[in-house]
A and B are shown apart, each in its own frame.
Chain A
């Protein structure tokens, strides 16, 4: 079966779900909506798995290198001879991997939601939005055209807006959805300008052609883009950094991360899908997609590295202080994505140098499983307890054995404990960092310890600690089978995904990369991880006053971290005070008073002048008669005496 015969179905099936449920769901389908949405996605997921099998094991490889295959393509909108938006599907190792990840996680979320969202008033709308989101994300990952990426990028943004604002009558959810959209939109502005720059110099929007043209050091395009400069930075660096700005926005990298914690206002399965496994990795994916271009300039790679590193650290620190379990998970997502980013940043192109690239993609892959698992478990917990706050939980292991085990597996995976998935991918990242930059390595190591600490803080607080009073809620136990099955499947994946020899399939240049497993090197990260776990064990296994004491002794740092380093406040100041009060308000005022004032003034001046002379046109017949008579007398006098 050739790709072109069915590949388009993978994105189109979820879209069909969106259209069908969006138009008819509310009235006619109602409860069947969940089954329809899930069924369509199941087909898409099976097709994606088949594609992956076919690509990786049958015809993807030519010689020793995986090829990029354009399954189909048509011109959607052409701007000039070479520059056009082509809609198409490009298969290469990372896009195929993402196809699998997106459809798989989305399928799990669909299934989980059957139980979780049951009885919601807008049940069909929810599934419609999930379909739209899956469609957009799939469209994004298979793009071969920079502008196609941008289009689906925006669609992803909008579906996340719709899903975060799903509880539309809750003001906090509405505010969060707005924030998410506007912050990412701001980042997209950078992306858009970056595209304009790259497209102008590269003379094409097609990613493959663009990479081909610019990576040849002698090509006219490369010379043009690397010599043109602004403020001493080459156009290439500018373009890539701007594109990265878009990626950083969507991937919630510092300082554009402020929307991610708030985005937890959406239903929890949505958080699992969007804000953990798929949408937020779009930024990483984008950098990976354009990676050959990024390797052309050290400047842009450095930016990627440090943005990733700072995000990873800051998020980990903040995560240690938060009390809302979804927010902890959100910050942990940000931290893990920071890992993926700096792994790309320290990577080179081709061969052994490309280890960071492979590691980043590997981490993306494994992270998708354990992070969606964490969120779905959190969803199950919230379903039971009806609260997001850690203080309302405790001792849950007795009530939800399955969730307990799954959550534990996910925590161990993210903490990097062997032999779970996270261990392998994180170890590769650390190795890549170690090979390129010791500072990055040191910080990454420290962060991995923090990760273990805050994840187990979460775990112990929820499932151990002191049991809280929530029996009156406990009417449905751990939830339906449809909620448990995805947890179990994802737990299995989180446990086993690490054993895939990822480097054989995904690498920067398409050639297989041998994974170098070195037990000695692994000792340090594992030790840091175990130390973090032990610390959490001591502090949170039982209810003690140790956490408060530690928090008190840290003082200012703790408070700052608890308040997310006041970044939100800075933004708020900037938008409310500067944009609204210093730009918006004056603009509106000037328009009403100065510009419109001029218009009105011209009308008023005309009116005033006419008011001055209208006295002559009094409307009094007698006055007219007098003027008339006076005129005649004057004329008579003139003609009789002067005009001789």
Chain B
């Protein structure tokens, strides 16, 4: 692992972040949006791990954060999917645009 320059890893993480961002903004399908969100979170996870490794190799704070985020992401995914399923039941669709009763 030592052989990989930090820039490369950061490049991967940034790519991952913007791919997620792009997905989040452009997709109307909620599942895809959720997946994009996971990509963003994972890009952040990578950053945490990498910076921890390179800046403070003898501390574990970054790793803790990464684990923390993974946990929250799991919970978030559970809640989100529950909402999505409910939405699908009531609207027969998981397109975000169809759920607009509460608009204005």
A positions within 8 Å CB-CB of B: 614, 617-622, 625-626, 629
B100 within 8 A of A: yes
19 sampled A-B residue pairs with Cβ under 8 A:
A614-B104, A617-B104, A618-B103, A619-B100, A619-B102, A619-B103, A619-B104, A620-B96, A620-B97, A621-B96, A622-B24, A622-B25, A622-B28, A622-B33, A622-B96, A625-B24, A625-B25, A626-B25, A629-B25
Complex Cα–Cα for A622 and B96 (A) = 9
Complex Cα–Cα for A468 and B103 (A) = 85
B77 within 8 A of A: no
Q: How far is the CB of A617 from chain B (nearest CB, A)?
A: 8
B73 within 8 A of A: no
The prevalent SS among residues of B at the interface is helix
The 9 closest A-B pairs by CB, nearest first: A619-B103, A626-B25, A622-B25, A625-B24, A614-B104, A625-B25, A629-B21, A619-B100, A622-B24
Contact bitstring B1-39, A, C-beta under 8 A = 1, else 0: 000000000000000000001001110100001000000
Q: How far is the CB of B14 from chain A (nearest CB, A)?
A: 13
Complex Cα–Cα for A614 and B102 (A) = 14
Closest to B37 in A: A625
Complex Cα–Cα for A614 and B103 (A) = 10
Determine the chain B residues whose CB is within 8 A of the CB of A622 once the complex forms. Answer: 24-26, 28, 33, 96
Determine the chain B residues whose CB is within 8 A of the CB of A620 once the complex forms. Answer: 96-97
Complex Cα–Cα for A620 and B24 (A) = 12
Q: How far is the CB of B56 from chain A (nearest CB, A)?
A: 24
The prevalent SS among residues of A at the interface is helix
Determine the chain B residues whose CB is within 8 A of the CB of A619 once the complex forms. Answer: 100, 102-104
Complex Cα–Cα for A619 and B96 (A) = 10
Q: How far is the CB of B99 from chain A (nearest CB, A)?
A: 9
Q: How far is the CB of A52 from chain B (nearest CB, A)?
A: 84
Complex Cα–Cα for A617 and B24 (A) = 18
Residues facing A in B48-104 (CB within 8 A) are: 96-97, 100, 102-104
Determine the chain A residues whose CB is within 8 A of the CB of B97 once the complex forms. Answer: 620
Determine the chain B residues whose CB is within 8 A of the CB of A629 once the complex forms. Answer: 21, 25
Determine the chain A residues whose CB is within 8 A of the CB of B102 once the complex forms. Answer: 619
Complex Cα–Cα for A626 and B33 (A) = 13
Closest to A610 in B: B104
Complex Cα–Cα for A263 and B103 (A) = 66
Q: How far is the CB of B93 from chain A (nearest CB, A)?
A: 15
Complex Cα–Cα for A626 and B22 (A) = 10
Complex Cα–Cα for A620 and B30 (A) = 12
Closest to A617 in B: B104
Complex Cα–Cα for A452 and B96 (A) = 99
Closest to B27 in A: A622
Complex Cα–Cα for A549 and B77 (A) = 111
Determine the chain A residues whose CB is within 8 A of the CB of B104 once the complex forms. Answer: 614, 617, 619
Complex Cα–Cα for A446 and B23 (A) = 111
Complex Cα–Cα for A570 and B65 (A) = 97
Complex Cα–Cα for A614 and B26 (A) = 22
Q: How far is the CB of A623 from chain B (nearest CB, A)?
A: 9
Given contacts A618-B103, A622-B24, A622-B28, could you give 18 more A-B pairs where the C-beta distance is less than 8 Å? A614-B104, A617-B104, A619-B100, A619-B102, A619-B103, A619-B104, A620-B96, A620-B97, A621-B96, A622-B25, A622-B26, A622-B33, A622-B96, A625-B24, A625-B25, A626-B25, A629-B21, A629-B25
Determine the chain B residues whose CB is within 8 A of the CB of A626 once the complex forms. Answer: 25
Complex Cα–Cα for A619 and B99 (A) = 10
Q: How far is the CB of A389 from chain B (nearest CB, A)?
A: 73
Complex Cα–Cα for A618 and B104 (A) = 8
Complex Cα–Cα for A621 and B30 (A) = 11
Closest to B24 in A: A625
Determine the chain A residues whose CB is within 8 A of the CB of B33 once the complex forms. Answer: 622
Q: How far is the CB of A629 from chain B (nearest CB, A)?
A: 7
Closest to A618 in B: B103
Q: How far is the CB of B40 from chain A (nearest CB, A)?
A: 10
Closest to A619 in B: B103
Determine the chain A residues whose CB is within 8 A of the CB of B26 once the complex forms. Answer: 622
Determine the chain A residues whose CB is within 8 A of the CB of B25 once the complex forms. Answer: 622, 625-626, 629
Closest to A623 in B: B25
Complex Cα–Cα for A265 and B27 (A) = 85
Determine the chain B residues whose CB is within 8 A of the CB of A625 once the complex forms. Answer: 24-25
Determine the chain B residues whose CB is within 8 A of the CB of A621 once the complex forms. Answer: 96
Q: How far is the CB of A462 from chain B (nearest CB, A)?
A: 82
Q: How far is the CB of B75 from chain A (nearest CB, A)?
A: 19
